[in-house]
Structure 1
Amino acid sequence: MKRTSLAAVALAGSSIAASAQDAVLHPGQPHPWQVNLQEALSPIEAQIHWFSNYTLWFIVPIVIFVAGLLAWVAFRYNEKRNATPSRTSHNTIIEVVWTLAPVLILLCLAIPSFQLLTAQYNPPREPELTVKATGYQWYWGYEYQPAQTDAAASSAVAGTAANPADPAAQPVSFLSYPLGEDARGAAGKADMAVYPRLLAVDNEMVIPVNTVIRLLSTGGDVIHSFAMPSLGVKVDAVPGRLNEYWFEANREGIFYGQCSELCGTSHYNMPIGVRVVSQEQFQAWLAAAATNVENANAQLTAEIASATSVVAAR
């Protein structure tokens, strides 16, 4: 029995260590034995982490105090030790303390909470790219609306047509379906660590790093919810309504989220894949995606896999 317990502890320890290493190598997705929030990969998510830790400084002492108080009352004032209970019906000091203390605690929580809420809906600068995410049963559709270039803006002012070859003048749209296990090889996404089961998609949302993204979210049939925990994004996708949010990824990589609103039988398999790339890679992808999204994604995936192999070889 003792050997079995030690083996179980050792196995759990090795699993936790492996999970921690996997979280470092592959951020932006859930991992086995994960206790904390996913790593913050955006300024808003970093603020959410801070607020979570800040709140714990209030929650933990309150829980300990209330548990200790309940234990003391049960021990000190049970029938055996307190055969004749007190008939006291009012205590001014206690009334004042238990009224003012919660008010002060709630104020300490409300002020940073409102500051975080304000930051979530007020980007630090004008968005440079707009992406509309439409939820369907059970996949996502993306429409890109890049900011106009100076030439395109001048054409619009002059009343002339913009250059159709300019990717900024041509909105890019595509659908993103869950990646089936039998399609991994053909898509070049066989690595389960990078493209996890039930999270990988055939076409990721591609965005540039260190860029303020305006996210417009709506539903095409029922209510969905676009949620990317590592990027601090969670916005409902409601049919007939356009909700707006913003985010900014500060690291390149591929990150995952899921629909977070119960939307039908395949709700469990409605993942969101966001691939964050350099500005140069994004411009090349956008130009290629204007004519063929699948080829543009395949080229980008192969390019990143090749670069990763070279780094690993070193």
Structure 2
Amino acid sequence: MAQWNQLLFQDAASPIMTQLINLHDHALTIMILSLSLVFYMLIYLMFNTLSCRTLLEAQEIETIWTILPAVILIFLALPSLRLLYLMDEISHPSMTIKTIGHQWYWSYEYSDFANLEFDSYMVPTSDLSFGEFRLLEVDHRMVIPMQTEIRLLVTAADVIHSWCIPSLGIKLDGIPGRLNQITLSCNRPGIFYGQCSEICGTNHSFMPIAIEVINFQSFSKWVSLFNN
């Protein structure tokens, strides 16, 4: 969950988000080193009273500052492409959940279970209980088991929506007439919040997403209670 005055990412709750944070730190380190080097060279040239004609016209220097940025881009591109393919890979999902965006609420369908589907609306501020978050709490959370690979299918019934959970590293557009899929996996229990990140109308900011991650035994009990 995000905190006030927070400058960094939310705590990672999935392997993909952990990799995204590592990639961010890797790119930020390279950027700081590059900026420090350029800043040092600028300061040195500003206060340098002597100029070396041979240095300013040397072909070796031009070769270095042409090849070096290309090498830096390779160090940025390779881990980025690796993570991009990991995010798109769906190997052996244990279950499938279909998410449908409406104006302005979400519907969830558990395809592997009979008659397990429900709508998820935001809880009004006047109905919130103590400790619940304003504009983030819903009446029916999407419940999933932890440490389980889940295939998430996202679409929309009216306009384009976007299903986004920052702590899980997931953001997927729901487009009417199209099914987009992504893998979903969470490595620890908890309640994780998100919001529609596509401007979908006047109540765009009032269709939050809440995921409750529990162990597999509790999930089996939840499924049986829901069907009863």
TM-score (norm 2): 0.91
Matched, 1:197 2:162: no
Determine whether 1:65 maps to 2:31: no
Match of 1:92 in 2: 59
Structure with greater proportional strand content? 2
Q: Following TM superposition, by how much is the alpha carbon of 1:66 offset from its aligned partner in structure 2, in angstroms?
A: 2.4
How far apart in 2 are the matches of 1:216 and 1:66?
46
CA RMSD in angstroms, aligned pairs only:
2.3
Whether 1:222 and 2:129 are equivalent positions in the alignment is no
SS of the aligned residue for 1:201 comes to coil
Gap runs ≥5 in structure 1: 1-28, 147-167, 185-189, 292-314
- Which residue of structure 2 lines up, in the alignment, with residue 131 of structure 1? 97
Query: How big is the shift at 1:70?
Result: 3.3
Residue pair 1:232, 1:247 contacting (<8 A) in 2 also: no
User: 2:78 corresponds to which residue?
Assistant: 111
Take 2:205 and 2:38, find their aligned partners in 1: how far apart are those partners?
38
Report the Cα distance in structure 1 between the residues aligned to 2:162 and 2:56, rounded to whole angstroms. Answer: 51
* Highest RCO, 1 vs 2 (Cα 8 Å, sep ≥ 6): 2
Residue from 173, 191, 200 that aligns with 1:254: 191
Q: 1:75 to 1:236 in 2, by over 3 A?
A: farther
- Equivalent residue for 2:110? 144
Q: What CA distance in whole angstroms lies between the structure 1 residues aligned with 2:5 and 2:61?
A: 43
Where do 1:263-302 residues align within 5 Å?
263-291=200-228
**Worse overlay, 273-282 or 61-70:** 61-70
Instruction: Letter of the 2:101 partner, please give it.
Output: G
Helix, strand or coil at the partner of 1:227: strand
State the aligned residue count: 228
Q: Residue 52 of structure 1: which of 11, 24, 28 is its match?
A: 24
Structure 1 position 89, deviation (Å) = 8.8
**Structure 1 ranges of 4+ moved more than 6 A:** none
Q: Deviations over 1:100-135 (max 9, x none)?
A: 111111111111111111111114x41111111111
Report the structure, 1 or 2, having the larger helix content.
Answer: 1
Distance 1:209 1:271 in 2: 21
* Equivalent position SS for 2:213: strand
Q: Which amino acid aligns with 2:80?
A: S
Normalising by structure 1, we get a TM-score of 0.67
Secondary structure, aligned partner of 1:254: strand
Mapped to 2, the partners of 1:91 and 1:172 lie a distance apart of 72
For 1:95, what is the secondary structure of its paired residue? Answer: helix
Contiguous gaps of at least 5 residues in structure 2 = none
> Contact 2:125–2:135 at 8 Å: present in 1 too?
no
Aligned to 2:15: 43
Note the C-alpha offset of 1:268. Answer: 2.1
Q: In structure 1, what is the Cα distance between the partners aligned to 2:211 and 2:163?
A: 12
Match for residue 179 of structure 1? 123
CA separation of 1:62 and 1:289: change in aligned 2, threshold 3 A: same
SS at match of 1:246: strand
Task: State the alpha-carbon separation in 2 of the partners of residues 108 and 61 from structure 1.
Answer: 13
- Give, in whole Å, the separation in 1 of the partners of 2:135 and 2:115: 29
Structure 2 residue identity aligned to 1:175:
D
In the TM superposition, what is the alpha-carbon distance from 1:71 to its structure 2 partner?
3.5
- Larger Rg over CA atoms: 1
Q: CA deviation at 1:171?
A: 3.9
Residue identity opposite 2:178 in structure 1: R
Distance in 1, matches of 2:133 and 2:43, equals 46
1:278 partner letter: N
